[in-house]
Amino acid sequence: MKLQTKTKIAHLGKIVLGIIGFIIWIDVILTIASSPAPFIEQAPYCMISTMVISGVITGLFKGLDFWITRENSTN
């Protein structure tokens, strides 16, 4: 596969992962917000879920970047 094609696939992968991550985040936040508990009890769950989802997405983005840079150095 050409390097340019791999770069486009990685870029599209980042876009798709970002959209999926955003949808999952919104779903989790809405699920937490629909709880009858007061906001002060919901806030830690919102913060933790945001940090975990952001961390996973960042890791996946860095993995795609690593894959592309490794492919660039071998070609």
Is the pLDDT higher at 16 or at 75?
Answer: 16
Q: Report residue 75's pLDDT band, with 50, 70 and 90 as the boundaries.
A: low
Give the predicted TM-score (pTM) of the model.
0.81
Cα three-residue angle 26-28-33, rounded to 5 degrees: 90
- pLDDT given at position 73: 78
The residues, any chain, with a CB within 8 Å of residue 30's CB and separated by 6 or more, are none
